[in-house]
Amino acid sequence: MYKRILVTGGAGFIGSNFVRHVLGKFEDVYIVNLDLLTYAGSLENLRDLPNKENYHFIEGDILDQDLVQRTLREFEIDSLVHFAAESHVDRSILGPSAFVQTNILGTFSLLEAARKVWIEEKKLGDGDVRFHHISTDEVYGTLAPDDPAFEETTSYAPNSPYAASKASSDHLVRSYAHTYGMPTTLTNCTNNYGPYQFPEKLIPLMILNALNGKDLPIYGDGEQIRDWLYVEDHCEAIWQVLQKGCSGESYCVGGNNQPANLEIVDTLCEILDELKPSASGKNYASQKTFVTDRPGHDRRYAMKINKINQELGWEPKHNLKDGLLKTINWYLKQEEWIEAISKKKEYQSWMDENYTERTEEEK
């Protein structure tokens, strides 16, 4: 079992959940968390970690190859789990440069550092090492209503700068496995939701806007279909692939839930109506508003999870209703976290730039 793990982007949404998941389950695993603490990463996500004595945080950039090499050597890292990424499609449309820097060049920097320390220097001798890369279903493009779901053999066809940057990083990881013998695994995952998600994404945005009496902005007609996965299930899938997955292989990870975005919003409103009725006496669904769609918005994603299920025995434990209920209950209890995140200037300026302008276009 890999026991000394370098996690990149471990102060972000999925990364922090993974850190918490692993430290809570295994007393003999040591985690080093490397994070630049950009807008979506926060030390607030890492409060009250279990098993803290087996955790170390480094504030730094994955583009700093010397720093990564020193970290791999000093902590005798035997596995690297790479979460660090720019991950919001809307941001990639307005500013693609950061996505090229972090997602492509950042992944290249990590691969080069690992190649230097693990392969050239053989710092761990001939010990078992692993580079695990977290990617997205968006590299596969979009599906028509009757198309079969994505799987590991689906051709890449990214449609946004974000998806293209992740596709590029996937290809880099595969090339290092083939060319240099780098022990790698890769997971392409569907939309995640759950605790600690930065509130620019659909589900936390809808929860917080509803509670604050704000509009619930829905792109286009709201009939875009995504496959939703509760973040704890994703963390367990990553762990299973890291420990038992075959080197050089990729695995599709999904939640077996493909509702339209509008259905997601309606379900959130129904749960909130029960748990915390609006002070106005109105249903939260009355706050829905339809705004101009994003350019090139993919219509449908769906993922087959046959391979990871049959080879590693993984499947999601949470159905959508249970996962959304747990998520809402978490946000209802996190006033301090919400306040700290909402005060970030990057968050406020982004909300004004992306949603206010879209709403005004509709008026």
Q: Indicate which residues carry an active-site annotation.
A: 137-138, 162
* 112-to-166, 187, 361 alpha-carbon distances in Å: 17, 20, 46
Other CB atoms closer than 10 Å to residue 289's CB: what's the count?
14
Residue 194 in contact with residue 230, Cβ under 8 Å? Answer: yes
Other CB atoms closer than 10 Å to residue 112's CB: what's the count?
16
Tokens representing 165?
A: 């940057």
Residue 23 in contact with residue 54, Cβ under 8 Å? Answer: yes
Look up residue 155 and give its DSSP letter. Answer: P
d(CA 316, CA 159): 27
In this structure, which amino acid lies at residue 207?
A: I
Token look-up 């982007």 returns: 9
d(CA 270, CA 90): 27
Q: Where are the beta strands (DSSP E) in 78-123?
A: 79-82
Rg of the chain over CA atoms, in angstroms? Answer: 20
Angle at the Cα of 341 from the Cα atoms of 223 and 57, rounded to 5 degrees: 110
Element (H, E) at 91: helix 89-94
